[in-house]
Amino acid sequence: MIHIEHFVFNNFQTRCSVIWDESLACAITDPGCADASELSRLTSFIEGKGLKPVCIMLTHGHFDHILGTAELAARYGGIPVYMHPEDRFTLESNEYFCRCFGAPLPAAFETADIHEGDIIEVGSLHFEVIETPGHTKGGVCYLERNEKTLFSGDTLFAGAIGRTDHPGGDYDSLMKSILEKLICLDGDIRVFPGHGPSTEIAKEGMTNPFLLPFNEPYED
């Protein structure tokens, strides 16, 4: 059975999730901890619960999603940091964005490559990698099919989609990713985006204003 605890970090209100099962093995998504106090909140929860981190799963490489990654990986014995290799481009662009937003530059860390269809095992949980480029070149989502749970990063939000005006963004690719990879999933799958409230696949397919034009019937 899946258990999830959500945290909101940094000035961009980025969602970080700790996910575990009865074995207490856990994964951490997008640890955007901007300072020592935010990192302490996360590690205090993990260690207070007796959880055993086995990996960090990055949906993409924007600085607000990775700020605490290097320290967290080192703290837990060099656990793998999963990221799509196309998002090395995004990591390289973070210095520019950090200067623009007055944010700290994330410390460097090693990544383990993931691709479409890969399965990341966390105890009894199995997270399927879904490649969803568009917000960034190497954006991915993580799906636990049996638990009907999707971590969508900045690809799909409640009532919105990811922005595509940053370097590496592409609107057509993003829409293709959402329509061909996500909206076709079971409607009762819970969606936990990288920012903002959670939602469900069916709700977004029926009410998301960015997707509504694609729900119109074709004219003969």
Q: Is 188 exposed, middle or buried (0-12, 13-18, 19+ CB in 10 A)?
A: exposed
Which domains, from first to last, does the chain contain? 3-213 (3.60.15.10)
- Average pLDDT for residues 158-180, to the nearest whole number? 95
In contact, 199 and 213? CB cutoff 8 Å = no
Nearest to 103 by CA among 77, 154, 64, 156: 64
Span 2-25, pLDDT tens digits: 999 999 999 999 999 999 999 999
How far is Cα 61 from Cα 159, in angstroms, rounded to an integer? Answer: 23
Average pLDDT over residues 28-48: 97
pLDDT in tens, 41-95: 999 999 999 999 999 999 999 999 999 999 999 999 999 999 999 999 999 889 8
Q: For residue 74, what are the contacts with CB-CB under 8 A and spacing of at least 6?
A: none
Q: Rg (Cα) of the chain, in Å, rounded?
A: 17
Residue closest to 153 by CA, chosen among 203, 195, 112: 195
Residues 6+ apart with CB under 8 A from 175: 134, 161, 214
pLDDT at position 123: 98
Amino acid 102: pLDDT? 82
Spatial CA neighbour of 104 closest among 30, 37, 33: 33
Q: What is the pLDDT of residues 84-136, one digit of tens each?
A: 999 999 998 898 888 888 888 899 999 999 999 999 999 999 999 999 999 99
